Amino acid sequence: MLIEILREKRDNLIKGWQGAVRETYPKGNRIKFTQRPQEFNDPIGHLLNRDLPVLVDLLLDGDMDKPELQAHLEPLCRLRSVQDFTPAGAMGFVYAMKKLVRESLSESELNEPGLLAELLAFESRIDRLAMYAFDLYVSCREELFELRANEARRRSELIVQHFAEHGKEAFTERVDPPEGEKPAVTNGHEGGEA
């Protein structure tokens, strides 16, 4: 019964959820977000329009193991993993759905027999979604740390390779070529510490 009620209110749920995510960004942003979102000029708006409706449908269908679910949850988690949020702030948007669902039920609906049980079951789906989101968030954060390490490696990759192939002397001890063939390093900058 709950699902039927929510299906009727699907559009409001989506709208409300999008609004709740937007609310997590600082004031002053609303102008941009109300415009038609474009993929490259407003990625946040674009993701909200593209992914949240699918997630709402999946929640209503109750199939929480579908691969689509991760595919549509991931971009938002990835984006929020680098934005100015604490982990809770970044992932809290999933729980906003609970509030929306509760608010969308009228008092009489809420006190129908059996509905509370259904509500609890539905909220478990939201919890499940939150756990997925947290996994994705953490894996994105881990990726960031890997990127840090990779970048340092890239910067010196060829020097390390050079050392491995030619030995340390290649850089530290220069053997002067015979007189006459000496390279014309004449600017007096040979010395000094790197």
Partner 1 sequence: MAEKLKPDALFNVDYSPPKKGWMDTTAIDFNATKGNWNFAATPESMEYLDMPNVRKWQPYEDDWKLPNDWQRILFEGFKKRLKKFRSLKVFMDICVRCGACADKCHFYIGSGDPKNMPVLRAELMRSIYRNDYTLFGKVFGKMVGGRKMTMDVLKEWFYYFYQCTECRRCSVFCPYGIDTAEITMIARELMWEIGVGIDWINTPAANCFRTGNHLGIQPHGVVDSIEFAADEVEEITGIMPEYSFNRKGAEVLFIAPSADYFASPHYYTLLGYLMLFHEIGLDYTWSTYASEGGNFGLFHSHEMMKRLNAKMYMEAERLGVKWILGGECGHMWRVIHQYMATLQKPANFLEVPKSPITGTVFEHAKSTKMVHVAEFTADLIQHNKIKLDPARNDHWVPTYHDSCNPARGMGLLEEPRQVIHACCNNFHEMPENTIREQTFCCGSGAGLGTEENLEMRMRGGLPRGSAVKYVKDKFGANILLCMCAIDKATLPAVMDFWAPGTEVGGVHEMVGNALIMTGEKHRDTDLRGEEYPIVDSQAHLAPPQEEEAVAQEDQADA
- Site residues (vs partner 1, CB under 8 A): 20, 23-29, 31-32, 35, 38-44, 78-79, 82-84, 92, 96, 98-99, 102-103, 105-107, 110-111, 116, 140, 143-144, 147-148, 150-152, 154-159, 162, 166, 170-171, 174, 183-187, 189-190, 192, 194
Q: Taking the CB of residue 35, how many other CB atoms lie within 10 A of it?
A: 11
Closest to partner 1 by CB, 172 vs 179, is 172
Closest to partner 1 by CB, 65 vs 193, is 193
| 129, 69 contact by CB (below 8 A) | yes
For residues 68 and 58, give the distance between their C-alpha atoms in angstroms, rounded to a whole number: 9
Tokens 């609310």 belong to residue? 23
Closest to partner 1 by CB, 66 vs 106, is 106
Provide the minimum distance between the beta carbon of 156 and partner 1 in the complex, in angstroms, as a whole number: 7
Closest to partner 1 by CB, 44 vs 69, is 44
Closest CA to 7 of 72, 58, 71: 58
Q: What is the separation of C-alpha 136 from the centre of its chain, rounded to a whole number of angstroms?
A: 7
